[in-house]
Amino acid sequence: MALTTMSIPEELRRASLPASDDSLGDLRFRALLSDEAWYSLPPQVRRRFSKRLAGGRTAVYTGEVLAIRMNRAGWCLAQLARLIGGPLPIGCEANMPSVVTVTEDMATGGQIWTRLYARRHGFPQVIHSSKRFAGPTGIEEYLGRGFGMALRIGAHDGMLVFRSDHYFLQIFGRRLRLPRWLSPGEMTVTHAERSEGRFEFALEVKHARFAVMIRQSAAFRESAP
């Protein structure tokens, strides 16, 4: 998936800026993208990823899972990942409510993302992860039990794209980069603006041997503060 490299006229850049400087309170995602990539994103996406969440503020997004598929290898990976906190969906129930909250991570200066997926039977699945603005790529996602992945961020066709660069394990104060043969696969997450104030989140885990193991899409809108 190629990142956008189109040239954006200066007049268009100024016209694309959000009206309120407060919406640009958090520039950490902005700093990881080129000007061309950032201004190719819809204004709603830029504002969403510039939201100031310091001081205990929380962003809440409500919606539903639209579709989810996983092959046998994906199902096994999701169950195995429960040992580090269950960062992947463990079932294939679609058309179910979902809630995402984002808060500031006071310990690391990053963001805590909490995803709740309702299930027809039993308690909802709750996934926690921490996005940290650190590491060789400038951003990484900590999943739990010392396990995390370095990310690369870009833009493509108006979507914000997060793609895994490599996985790592932090243990006894050391950071160990996992070899490619131990990788659970390439993970890609996209954030795309849709109509009526909704946006679509899509997750895909693809392995060189097992093909697309997991694919999930969900639609959300921001709840009123």
21-64 pLDDT per residue, tens:
344 579 999 999 999 999 999 999 999 999 988 888 899 999 99
Question: How many C-alpha atoms does 132 have within 13 Å on its Cβ side?
Answer: 17
R_g of the chain, CA atoms, integer Å:
18
Q: Is residue 168 a contact partner of residue 175, using CB atoms and an 8 Å limit?
A: yes
**Can you tell me the distance from the alpha carbon of 54 to that of 105, in angstroms, rounded to the nearest whole number?**
9
- Percentages helix, strand, coil for the chain (3-state, rounded to 5) are 20, 45, 35
- The DSSP output letter for 22 is G
**Model pLDDT, residue 20:** 41
Q: Is residue 26 a contact partner of residue 53, using CB atoms and an 8 Å limit?
A: yes
**Model pLDDT, residue 169:** 96
What distance lies between CA 35 and its chain's CA centroid?
A: 21
Question: Is residue 225 very low, low, confident or very high in pLDDT (cuts 50, 70, 90)?
Answer: low
Cα 160 to Cα 41, 152, 177, distances in angstroms = 7, 11, 26
**Model pLDDT, residue 15:** 38
**Model pLDDT, residue 123:** 95
Q: Both tokens of residue 180?
A: 């490619």
Q: Is residue 205 a contact partner of residue 184, using CB atoms and an 8 Å limit?
A: yes
Beta bridge mates, 67? 217
Could you tell me if residue 82 is left (phi over 0), alpha (psi between -120 and 50 degrees) or otherwise beta?
alpha
- Give the H/E segment covering residue 156: strand 147-156
pLDDT, one tens digit per residue, over 148-174 is 999 999 999 999 999 999 999 999 989
Domains of the chain are 54-222 (2.40.128.20)
